[in-house]
Structure 1
């Protein structure tokens, strides 16, 4: 697969938009050398987006793989996340992440969960300050509700560039998509396979019609909706298969059938 075939989504910042590859490698629960080998293989076969987090405990392995890949730093989009219990220690947490990753900046830094389940505008302001200082190119949140996003906007005048949330066909809700779109917030989905019934007859039928796996259909469905997706795997074959989704297309009717698997109005 050619790198140029991978679509990107623009993330809003205070300067020029940052182009984020819409398909990346997730590293949750990838540990030690397994994480290193997975990231190295992913970069070798064409991934240019890697997602990690302070809480994953593997930023050093991600950084080692980045360094050993031989790729220029600006060729790879790197995301990491601030643990909610690090609210109030934003700078030292990000600086620690950068040391582990072996880079002077990340491309996207997220608040991993709302601290104490609250929107916490003070933490959002700290992310804005560190973005303006050049330690991250874009900033966002993860696992935030629309109401919490609105609280950040109300307090600072700036919406997160992105919200990373659990997402799959069974989670699909056009209202959630519309709410984020109206605020200029990109959506990134995690756990796309864990939250999917891979034996669902609709998905099995569509996969069979295209000669691909159900997992590949799920990833393609994310891309059709302009939702960034980060499937996690440490298996080389699965890493390659997850990237190989640009050689087929889903019709509007097929996308609509998959949408109806969700709980929202389209799935009612």
Structure 2
């Protein structure tokens, strides 16, 4: 039996009711809420995970027959790994959404997020995920269940950040590392696709092949622009994940002064930067 279980639906539903309860003498957590909210909405990692999963679909038309079987084997591994790769992101997103809700005043329904948590991580021997990441995922989901049942919002925020920091850091580090794996796969794909045309185009540069040559050149230009854009998305994703990690570390290190003007300004800047990165991703 898989030792990793999904969050208790009943516990989280009860928590969503408690979050709207009365809280007296609560410190100002607006910047905590905005930082956590911006972190949860970053989104680039999930998109790049899907892009990584679908590598074979894009590169297959350009592969020589001798390389196709190896590419199929790699595709099978990516398909298997994909579930674990997006599961860790869902855990971090739910953590950030929970943190934002606990730092706010409104009620929050976690039911849709609960349904996306899956059954946990399997732990993949030939990827960057191992027992360390599996343990972090387990610890974080247990913490979420506990933290969400607290009656006092401020204490819930402090408890979750203090106890969740190590696990969140492990999972964010894994996401950053996986973004590098995705980027390396994309670089290999780019070499395969553009390399195909480097070899084929000179052979088609004859008067009778002029139409084919022109269409192929236009296709190369389109693919080159596509790869340039995805490279930019990798850059923004790395920057965004690093901002999330640094912001959460800052929060953990300054829980005693969480409402100080200096701390609030620092979190405001992290949230602003994350929102700018998200805007940049949307513009692409």
Q: TM-score range by the shorter chain?
A: under 0.3
TM-score (norm 1): 0.25
Give 1 or 2: higher helix fraction. 2
Give 1 or 2: higher strand fraction. 1
Higher Cα radius of gyration: 2
